[in-house]
Amino acid sequence: MNALFKALNDSTRREILELLKEKDLTAGEIADKFSISKPSISHHLDLLRQAGLVVSVKEGQFVFYSLNTTVMDEVLKWIMQFKK
């Protein structure tokens, strides 16, 4: 759970999640949307992957990233337990 909240704490990572909400993208396509270095984007993607928010699939020379909505469902379920 800590890794999840750490991943969500950064605006760049939240923007990446917004992009992936629309469709699966390669690391290069994601990097093209930002004005930061590709290694920095790779770091953000790795943190999102470690938190379980995204999954990556290698197809040939490309790595495609997609949202893992299962984790978000679990977080929402956890949060909802506090609602009366």
pLDDT in tens, 50-71: 999 999 999 999 999 999 989 8
- What is the pLDDT confidence band of residue 9, given thresholds at 50, 70 and 90? very high
SS (H, E, C) the chain: CHHHHHHHCCHHHHHHHHHHHHCCEEHHHHHCCCCCCHHHHHHHHHHHHHCCCEEEEEECCEEEEEECHHHHHHHHHHHHCCCC
Fold (CATH) for 3-81: Arc Repressor Mutant, subunit A (1.10.10)
Domain ranges of the chain: 3-81
pTM above 0.95, yes or no: no
d(CA 2, CA 56): 21
pLDDT at 84 over 80: no
